[in-house]
Amino acid sequence: MTTQAFKLVLDPRATRGKKVKQLRKTGVIPVHLYGPETESRSLQCTQRDVLRALSRTGGTTPISVTVNGESGEYLTFAREVQWHPVRGDILHVDFMAVRATQRLTAQVPISLVGESPGARGAGGSVIQQLRELTVEALPLELPSEVQVNLGILTDPAGVIRAGDIPLPPNVLLLTDAEDVVVRIEALRAEEVVEAAGGGPAEPEVGRPDGGTGEGAE
């Protein structure tokens, strides 16, 4: 399966140093483009366009970058994103250019779908122990996420391991295949009693002299 790269247009940047702060006030942020076979370049883009690109691609979908006034095109990934610690604005973004034929290592998020019959039958909870898989693939074949179907988790004592998750063709799993991704945590006996409306008996509070207080005025 081939991933469609998101397209982003950048502009050349002449502003450097402390003047970059003024650039940000206009809604434009500094961008750095680099790569093993790409000359390091200082560029810029509106914060709106960068936010849109990041929200649609995450860290595993490539971004096709072009520079205004130039004919070249770069296949990139957003690698370093600096955020303002208070306002939450983007301060700077690094885009790493790669070759379309170069296999890459990436951390792909795991998404749980469906319901586990085993958890429902045991009155337990599904616990996700692993939230990302490390995989290797070509840039345009990296999945944006991998889905785990909880419907296959029918045994309350069963688990889903990294090696159980189906991956697209040409995507190699680097995470240990035996790593547990999902398991079921059954309710403890006391939790079952409380859920049924019971609960531990309240201890009777007596007087210091050992009496129960009955008949006291």
CA pair distance 43, 69, nearest whole angstrom: 13
How does DSSP assign 120-131, residue by residue? HHHT-EEEE---
Residues making up the chain, counted from first to last: 217
From residue 81, alpha-carbon distances to 30, 72, 159 in Å are 11, 24, 35
H-run or E-run covering 172: strand 172-173
| Domains 6-98 and 104-195 belong to one CATH topology | no
Averaged over successive runs of 10 residues, the pLDDT of the chain (217 residues) comes to 80 85 90 92 94 86 92 91 88 94 93 93 92 96 93 92 94 97 78 51 48 47
CA pair distance 66, 178, nearest whole angstrom: 42
The pLDDT of residue 37 is: 86
3-state secondary structure 4-72: CCEEEEEEECCCCHHHHHHHHHCCEEEEEEEECCEEEEEEEEEHHHHHHHHHHHCCCCCEEEEECCCCC
CA pair distance 161, 29, nearest whole angstrom: 42
Residue 192: strand, helix, or coil:
helix
Per-residue model confidence as pLDDT tens digits over 80-95: 899 988 888 899 999 9
Per-residue model confidence as pLDDT tens digits over 176-190: 999 999 999 987 645
Structure tokens at 65: 């970058």
Tell me if 81 sits within 8 A of 88, measured CB to CB.
Answer: no
Neighbours of 97 (CB within 10 A): 21
104-195 has which fold?
A: RNA Polymerase Alpha Subunit; Chain A, domain 2 (2.170.120)
If you average pLDDT over every residue of the chain, what do you get?
85
Q: Which of 3.40.50.2000, 3.40.605.10, 2.40.240.10, 1.10.3720.10 would CATH assign to domain 6-98? A: 2.40.240.10
Q: Indicate the domain borders of the chain.
A: 6-98, 104-195
The pLDDT of residue 164 is: 95
Per-residue model confidence as pLDDT tens digits over 131-145: 999 999 999 999 989
The pLDDT of residue 2 is: 56
